[in-house]
Every structure is written in C-alpha cells, then in structure tokens.
Amino acid sequence: LFPYTTLFRSLPGLADGNQGRVVLFGGGEPVFARGTLLGGLGVSGGTVDEDCDILHYAMTTVMGEL
C-alpha cells in the first residue's frame, strides 16, 4: 500500500496520523441529522473513489439528499 500513501495519491495519511494513534484515509463521512452529529459511517474494500461513491449512495438512500 505504501505507493498509495504518499502525497497526491489516493490514500495520503494512511502511513501516519496523530502520532501513530489514529489513521485517516478516504471512505468515511460524519453523519448529521438536523445539524447534530450522530456518528460516522465508513466503507472499505474498493478504491477510495469507489468507497466514497458507495458511501454517498447509501447515505442519500437512507437519509435523503445530502
């Protein structure tokens, strides 16, 4: 995965983040309802773009237009 973790690639930040305690990468979004943060939802298994597409589809299907 290392080639994908460098700047300007699809997973920047995967190799480091928050002094090694937290890893940040694409495929997740916070979930809000009426301006209140309810939690988060993540999708993994494809490319970052595929994961985000599936996540957006699921969110709009369940919660309506974002």
What confidence tens digit (pLDDT) does each residue in 5-61 have?
A: 666 666 666 656 666 666 666 788 888 888 899 888 889 888 888 988 999 898 889
Positions of E strands within 1-66 = 28-33, 36-42
In this prediction, residue 27 carries a pLDDT of 81
What percentage of the chain carries pLDDT values higher than 70?
59
Give the residue carrying structure tokens 């973790």: 5
